[in-house]
Structure 1
């Protein structure tokens, strides 16, 4: 037996060792993905709660300087409701005031598009008979698939109820994360063996620093994108500028594919309402906003909190889209950023600096290197730091 082992080349033994480790990692990741898909509603709710917590916790900490923690949490959440509700009310009012105007301009715009299709160069023109055939084929398809479409509508009704459940659970979790997330984390640390608490503490702190930076930065950047798009559409006189700007704002939350989709929709509306020149200006303007976001806003607002190569971002978004559609595209980048940050921190080479603030406004541990407020008695009855013994600083 020993002779047979010695006859195996070293490169083959090394490759075999890495192979079974890789298989184990892939199996673990597949198991996590499968378990997540089985409780997708809960996962989405908790993810949304963490995003909201990253936004509202700093505001609650600010209010807590002059108010009790309960009132600070309440006022922070109410501030979000006022801002979001005011935005939605403005969008609804804009749609109601400009809908009739847009309908008339859209009809004339469609006629212009049809006329343009009949006079294309290089023999690519589409005749009126072909357009009528396509319209008839579309109507026939709707008639043949009416039952299936009705069934899908019924499924969407169930999805609405499910969405309300997700939203309710997310708000419920957000309230507790904002109010007492630090105490929840210290309770969790006490369930970890004492010698491992420092590593968990540092890794979780770095992971939350990356996630909260991404979430808050995305919200701020999306708001700026929406404001700039609204100003551009207002200057050009494009109808429904407010809802189109909100669409651009929402598109900022979907990496790579969100902004282009919003740009195409805004350009189509501009084409129908104002003509080709305005549509071209809208396309170039929103593309310029995207460049401003990628080269100025993201480095300025997020800094190095999310340090992922563009290739990694593209692969993560595509993989998330394949696994879970638009939802996967939204959560892929922050999840990959957190996993990479935690892994690097556990390896001893954190890719991002740990926050200087003790709590960073999150349901995560206090400042790495600080002592937790609740002590935990050790085996000999001596009170110990819940995150483990303090390590001496590395030599300069």
Structure 2
């Protein structure tokens, strides 16, 4: 006989729906929390390292507060190095690109015109000729728009002074009092379900931490590889192209393709032969990424079927745009953990 749901259960479901709705509509408040959670997962191994490291002058291990403090110092040092050797040179390089942008657009238009003339000489169908012209125009426009959006997004992020204060504070307390926060949350569920909820939280933590660290490592490796490759080809804006490649790695499926567009356009403005070399370089590089780098680094941290990744990507893109594309894979992995625990305990 089917059990009738109690009014308390209905109230809990209603409260959960209202809470989810509130979270989805409180993006301004949610942003620093998400950033703090991401930093917590990234810094947690470093904090644990300091906690279990003996300080010889004091002849004892670090306290958790001291470990967090030293982890923040290491993170600040890494950030300072990135600003000095990556962000500042990138800003100068991008400024130089912006100054030369009118000339590049003129060269692109001339290239499109020559391609149109070649298409007419080959007597291609009108539909194919139009497709070629539109594709070149859209590719050029999209690469410029991508750079403009990235620059405006970087400036917008830097100007959020309140977030820059709130995020470190939240990160500190997440690192320091995570066990207290977790136990307080677990106490909200019935006693007989607490062990199960703890397992779910631990598994989700493993999935998120594995994904974040693995994805950051993959993005960094791919960015360096692209930079070295473009530098070897003696191309302009090698650092900018490498940074774009690293950032677009966070977008599944189409990210690497989008990241290759600026490199191909810059190479095409130099010579078709250079563009062909760059295209071959990207093809080989992504084969190495898919068959060597990703399996070695990501391992089983996500373990999602490719069809699941594609569906998650499409749904995320449709519902939340770029943010949905980036979050599609980790959210799908979290849902997999939840479904596993639900069906495994039926």
Could you say which TM-score interval applies, normalised by the shorter chain?
Answer: 0.7 to 0.9
Equivalent residue runs for 1:127-142 within 5 Å: none
Deviation at 1:245, TM superposition (A): 1.0
Q: Which has the greater radius of gyration?
A: 1
Deviation at 1:115, TM superposition (A): 5.2
Deviation at 1:89, TM superposition (A): 2.6
1:51 and 2:46 aligned: no
Quote the Cα distance in structure 2 between the aligned partners of 1:230 and 1:118. 30
The 3 A distance-change label for structure 1 pair 98 and 347 is closer
Structure 2: segments with no counterpart, 5+ residues: 1-13, 55-61, 123-151
Asked if the contact 1:109–1:275 (Cα under 8 Å) also holds between the matched residues in 2, the reply is no
SS of the residue corresponding to residue 118 of structure 2 reads: coil
The 3 A distance-change label for structure 1 pair 33 and 278 is farther
- The structure carrying a bigger helix percent of its residues is 2
Deviation at 1:156, TM superposition (A): 8.6
Quote the Cα distance in structure 1 between the aligned partners of 2:95 and 2:267. 14
Asked if the contact 1:98–1:239 (Cα under 8 Å) also holds between the matched residues in 2, the reply is no
SS of the residue corresponding to residue 254 of structure 1 reads: coil
Asked if the contact 2:211–2:302 (Cα under 8 Å) also holds between the matched residues in 1, the reply is yes
Asked if the contact 1:221–1:298 (Cα under 8 Å) also holds between the matched residues in 2, the reply is yes
Deviation at 1:183, TM superposition (A): 2.6
SS of the residue corresponding to residue 121 of structure 1 reads: helix
Deviation at 1:264, TM superposition (A): 0.3
Quote the Cα distance in structure 2 between the aligned partners of 1:248 and 1:209. 27
Equivalent residue runs for 1:133-212 within 5 Å: 164-212=161-209
Cα RMSD (Å) of the superposition? 3.5
Asked if the contact 1:214–1:305 (Cα under 8 Å) also holds between the matched residues in 2, the reply is yes
Residue-pair matches, total: 295
Asked if the contact 1:251–1:259 (Cα under 8 Å) also holds between the matched residues in 2, the reply is yes
State the TM-score, normalizing by the size of structure 2: 0.73
The 3 A distance-change label for structure 1 pair 39 and 271 is same
The 3 A distance-change label for structure 1 pair 251 and 111 is closer
The 3 A distance-change label for structure 1 pair 112 and 254 is closer
Quote the Cα distance in structure 1 between the aligned partners of 2:212 and 2:153. 28
The 3 A distance-change label for structure 1 pair 283 and 190 is same
Deviation at 1:110, TM superposition (A): 4.3
- The Cα offsets for residues 72-111 of structure 1, whole Å up to 9 and x where unpaired, read as 1122223223223322332323553696599669837843
Q: Which deviates more from structure 2 when the two are superposed, residues 263-272 or residues 89-98?
A: 89-98
Quote the Cα distance in structure 2 between the aligned partners of 1:295 and 1:210. 21
- The Cα offsets for residues 103-131 of structure 1, whole Å up to 9 and x where unpaired, read as 66983784376056236324179xxxxxx
Deviation at 1:221, TM superposition (A): 0.7
- The Cα offsets for residues 187-216 of structure 1, whole Å up to 9 and x where unpaired, read as 322333321111101111111111111111
Partner of 1:38: 25
Quote the Cα distance in structure 2 between the aligned partners of 1:304 and 1:275. 42
State the TM-score, normalizing by the size of structure 1: 0.65
1:264 and 2:251 aligned: no
- The Cα offsets for residues 166-198 of structure 1, whole Å up to 9 and x where unpaired, read as 554433322222222123212322333321111
The 3 A distance-change label for structure 1 pair 193 and 124 is farther
Deviation at 1:159, TM superposition (A): 6.2
Quote the Cα distance in structure 2 between the aligned partners of 1:200 and 1:285. 47
Deviation at 1:34, TM superposition (A): 4.0
Structure with greater contact order relative to length (CA < 8 Å, sep ≥ 6): 1
Partner of 2:3: none
The 3 A distance-change label for structure 1 pair 48 and 280 is farther
Quote the Cα distance in structure 1 between the aligned partners of 2:154 and 2:70. 33
1:78 and 2:77 aligned: no
1:249 and 2:246 aligned: yes
Asked if the contact 1:206–1:345 (Cα under 8 Å) also holds between the matched residues in 2, the reply is no
The 3 A distance-change label for structure 1 pair 286 and 346 is same
Quote the Cα distance in structure 2 between the aligned partners of 1:60 and 1:251. 29
